[in-house]
Amino acid sequence: MINVVCQFFSRLSTQNKNIDNLERLFKDDCLLLSSNQTLIGKVNVTKYFKEMVHKNRIERVSLLNSIKGDKSTLLVNYCIIYADQPSPVYGAAIFKINRKKIDYINYRHTTQIIN
């Protein structure tokens, strides 16, 4: 399960050309939840992430750590570095995975200012 999540984060990085294969990680009826978005279906979810990477000019997405909740749930902390932002953006996400496919992601971003 951790391997699937690691693949997800590596494919979100613009340095990795495998973003076109992102849909392989999602189930057909995958659900994405965040504070202002709810997308149902693999096509909509992969389109959302591809557009987010290109629109926000993401340079790097890193998986910081992960905690296993049960056999299908994983809580991860991540860091995103944008091309036009001096400070990294941190966040947390819950991944629910079934048979090596992502069922849903529930996530939240927070900007942390470092002095």
- 60-75 confidence digits (pLDDT tens): 889 899 888 788 999 9
- Is the torsion defined by CA of 41, 46, 49, 52 positive or negative? negative
Kindly state the average pLDDT of the residues 3-13: 90
Average pLDDT along the chain: 87
Tokens, residue 2 = 């951790």
pLDDT at 47 > cutoff 70:
yes
Number of domains in the chain: 1
Segments of the chain assigned E as strands: 26-33, 38-40, 58-70, 73-82, 89-98, 101-111
CATH number at residue 56: 3.10.450.50
Q: Which domain holds residue 34?
A: 2-111
> What confidence score (pLDDT) does residue 112 get?
59
pLDDT at 109 > cutoff 80:
no
Model confidence, pTM: 0.84
Quote the percentage of the chain above a pLDDT of 70.
93
